[in-house]
């Protein structure tokens, strides 16, 4: 496993991943950061936790409305979204202790 540090919405997160997953994880973090930045800049949603939920919902909506070229079914997409939401929840858990 390799340690990796990513910045999302101005906060640093330390992650562990296998070397072959590093590039995909970095791209994922950049995508999440850009989505969350756009939501924050729109000014309609305040607070990092609410911004994260809105970003997760937007990603889920995009995933569920896109069928992969390999014909992935909605159930598989649902599982993937649930896994992403769990990752978001785990990443935001330390922040809850700040409030």
What band does 99 get if pLDDT is binned at 50, 70 and 90?
Answer: low
pTM to 2 decimal places: 0.64
Quick: pLDDT tens for 25-78.
999 999 999 999 999 999 877 788 889 988 999 888 887 776 655 666 667 777
30-to-17, 41, 59, 60, 72 alpha-carbon distances in Å: 16, 16, 13, 17, 24
Residue predicted with more confidence, 12 or 78: 12
Q: What is the pLDDT of residue 49?
A: 86
Q: What is the pLDDT of residue 37?
A: 93
pLDDT score of 69: 58
| pLDDT for position 44 | 77
């Amino acid at each position: 496993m390799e340690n990796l540090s990513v910045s999302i919405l101005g906060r640093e997160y330390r992650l562990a991943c296998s070397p072959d997953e590093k590039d995909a994880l970095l791209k994922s973090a950049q995508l999440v950061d850009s989505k969350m930045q756009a939501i924050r800049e729109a000014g309609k949603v305040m607070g990092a936790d609410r911004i994260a939920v809105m970003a997760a919902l937007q990603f889920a909506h995009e995933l569920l409305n896109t069928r992969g070229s390999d014909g992935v079914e909605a159930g598989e997409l649902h599982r993937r979204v649930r896994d992403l939401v769990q990752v978001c929840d785990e990443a935001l858990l330390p922040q809850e202790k700040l409030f």
